[in-house]
Amino acid sequence: MNAVAPHRGERIYLDHGATSWPKPPAVIAAVSRALTDLGANPGRSAHAMALEASRAVEAARGRCARLLGVPEARQLLFLPGCTIACNLMLKGYLRPGDRVVVGSMEHNAVVRPLASLAAQGLEVVVVAADDTGLIDPGEVERQVRAAPTRAVICQHASNVTGTIQLIGEMAEITREQGARLLVDGAQAVGHLEVDLASLGVDAYAASGHKGLLGPQGVGVLAVAADLELDVLIEGGTGGEASAQPDMPRERPDRYEPGTLNTPGILGLGAAAERLAADGVQRRRRADDLLHRLHEGIDALGGFRVLGPPRPQHRLPLLSVVHDWLTADRIAFDLDRSHGIAVRAGLHCAPWAHRTMGTLEGGAVRFSLSADNSDNHIDRALEALRRIVSRAGHGET
C-alpha cells in the first residue's frame, strides 16, 4: 500500500456552492471599514457616528435591492443567512391546516421548517422533479388546482444538480390560483439575473456569502409589500421604543430586532455594487468554465453527471457519481493528494439526492466561480483521471 503524500502546492477552491472564496477586495475593505471608521451601532444612538453607520446600512440595502430588482429597499430584510430567511418566510406565513405544494429538490433549510410545520398540522404535497432535477410547472398547477393551496414553495436553483427552476411560470400559476410563491434563492443569486419585480415572486430568501460574494453571516429576505409575515424574533429596534411591547409595524425594523451585523451588511452591499458592474461578464466566464469541466468529465468516462444536460439550464456547478469509486473517496483524494477543495455527500439536501437516486452514497460536487481559471479545471480533470487510474490499480 502506498502512503498518500499530502498536497503541498497551490490549493484550488471548487466549493463555491458552500461559500464563495476568495471574497473581492472591495468586500474585505467594506467589512474592515465597518469595524474601524463606521464602528458605531446603526439605528441606536443619535450621535454622528451612529447616524453615519445607519446611512451606510441603508445604502447597502439599496444596493442589494437594486441588484435583485426589489422595488422598495425596505422590502429587503437583512438576516443572518438564507436558513434564517427560509424559516421566517415559512413559519411567518404558514399556519396549521394550510396546504402547500413543494418541489422535491429542496434543501434542509426548507425541508426541516416544513417538517416542523407539518407536525403542527400543515399539509405538504410534494411534486417530484424529473431525472434532471426539474420541477414541472404543469404538475405544480395540477396540484394547486386540486385543493385550496396557500403557497407553492420552490428553490430557484438546486445546490445538488444546479437545475434552474421555471420560477416565472410558477409565479403565474400562483397568481392565478390565489396562492403565494415562496422561493429559496440561496444558490441562484449572483449566478442568475434575478429581477424579483418582474418574476412576481412573493418572498425570496437568499444567502449573501455564496454567488453574491459577500461575507458569511448575512443573507436577505425580500418580501412583497402586500405579504404580511408573523414576527418570529422580538426585541429592540432602536427607533420606535415605547411603553408598548409590540414590535413596530414598519419594515425593515419589524423583522430586524437587535444589533445588526454591520460588517456583514456593508460587505454584502459592496459585493452587490460590484456584481451590478461585472455580473454579466462573471456569469459568462463561469459558464465557460462549467462547459470545460462538463466536457472533460464526459471525456474521462465512468462518471454520471447529475442534472440537466444543457449548460444553460444549470448553475456553474456539477455533481458527479463514479461507477465504482465512492464520492467520499474521490473528494478525499482530490483534497489530500491534489489540493482541490470540493464537497462530497448529501449537501444538506437529502430530498434532492433521493430524487436523483443518490441518497445512498451522495455525489461529488464541483462548484465554480468566475474567479477560477481554465488551469484549475484542467488540473481537477487530471486529478480525477489519476485518482480513478490509481484506484483501478489497487493503489490507495
Q: Which is nearer to ligand PMP, 108 or 372 (CB)?
A: 108
Least Å from the CB of residue 40 to ligand PMP: 27
Pick from 20, 54, 155, 161 the residue near ligand PMP by CB under 6 A. 155
Catalytic-residue membership of 348: yes
Produce one character per residue of 19-47: b if its CB has 16 or more CB atoms within 10 Å, e if not.
Answer: bbeebbeebeebbebbeeebebebbbeee
- Which of these segments, 42-50, 78-86, 111-119, 278-286, binds ligand PMP (CB under 6 A)? 78-86
260 HSE (CA, 13 A, CB side): 35
- Contact in structure between 263 and 34 (CB atoms under 8 Å): yes
C-alpha cell at 227: 405579504
Pick from 190, 219, 248, 307 the residue near ligand PMP by CB under 6 A. 219
Q: Which of residues 33-72 bind ligand PMP (CB under 6 A)?
A: none
Pick from 14, 77, 101, 109 the residue near ligand PMP by CB under 6 A. 109
For residue 364, CA distances in Å to 117, 160, 250, 263, 341 come to 31, 9, 44, 33, 11
Rounded (5°) CA angle 79-274-340? 80
Per CB under 6 A, does 16 bind ligand PMP?
no
Pick from 186, 213, 221, 260 the residue near ligand PMP by CB under 6 A. 186
153/171 Cα distance (integer angstroms): 10
Per CB under 6 A, does 82 bind ligand PMP?
yes
Produce one character per residue of 59-95: b if its CB has 16 or more CB atoms within 10 Å, e if not.
Answer: ebbbbbbebbbbeebbbbbbbebbbbbbbbbbbbbbe
- Contact in structure between 305 and 354 (CB atoms under 8 Å): no
- Which of these segments, 58-66, 76-84, 168-176, 297-305, binds ligand PMP (CB under 6 A)? 76-84
Per CB under 6 A, does 107 bind ligand PMP?
yes
Q: Which is nearer to ligand PMP, 56 or 221 (CB)?
A: 221
Pick from 87, 161, 207, 355 the residue near ligand PMP by CB under 6 A. 207
Per CB under 6 A, does 20 bind ligand PMP?
no
- Contact in structure between 77 and 221 (CB atoms under 8 Å): yes
Pick the closest to residue 11 from 396, 369, 342 (CA basis): 342
The dihedral built from the CA positions of residue 195, 144, 346 and 132, taken in this order, carries a sign that is negative
- Which of these segments, 81-89, 137-145, 233-241, 300-308, binds ligand PMP (CB under 6 A)? 81-89
Q: Which is nearer to ligand PMP, 222 or 384 (CB)?
A: 222
Q: Quote the DSSP letter at residue 333.
A: H
- Which of these segments, 24-32, 181-189, 250-258, 366-374, binds ligand PMP (CB under 6 A)? 181-189
Least Å from the CB of residue 107 to ligand PMP: 4
Least Å from the CB of residue 345 to ligand PMP: 12
Catalytic residue of the set 64, 82, 86, 348: 348
For residue 199, CA distances in Å to 134, 149, 183, 251 come to 18, 20, 11, 22
Per CB under 6 A, does 214 bind ligand PMP?
no
Q: In this structure, what are the phi and psi dihedrals at residue 35, rounded to the nearest 5 degrees?
A: -95, -10
Pick from 141, 184, 333, 371 the residue near ligand PMP by CB under 6 A. 184
34/40 Cα distance (integer angstroms): 8
CB atoms near residue 116 (< 10 Å): 12
Give the distance, in angstroms, between the CA of residue 150 and the centroid of all CA atoms in the same chain: 24
DSSP-derived pairing of the beta strands 123-127 and 99-103: parallel
Per CB under 6 A, does 319 bind ligand PMP?
no
Q: How many residues bind ligand PMP (CB under 6 A)?
A: 13
Per CB under 6 A, does 372 bind ligand PMP?
no
Per CB under 6 A, does 81 bind ligand PMP?
yes
Per CB under 6 A, does 355 bind ligand PMP?
no
- Which of these segments, 39-47, 180-188, 328-336, 357-365, binds ligand PMP (CB under 6 A)? 180-188
Residues at the interface with ligand PMP (CB under 6 A):
81-83, 107, 109, 155, 159, 184, 186-187, 207, 219, 348
Annotated catalytic residues are: 348
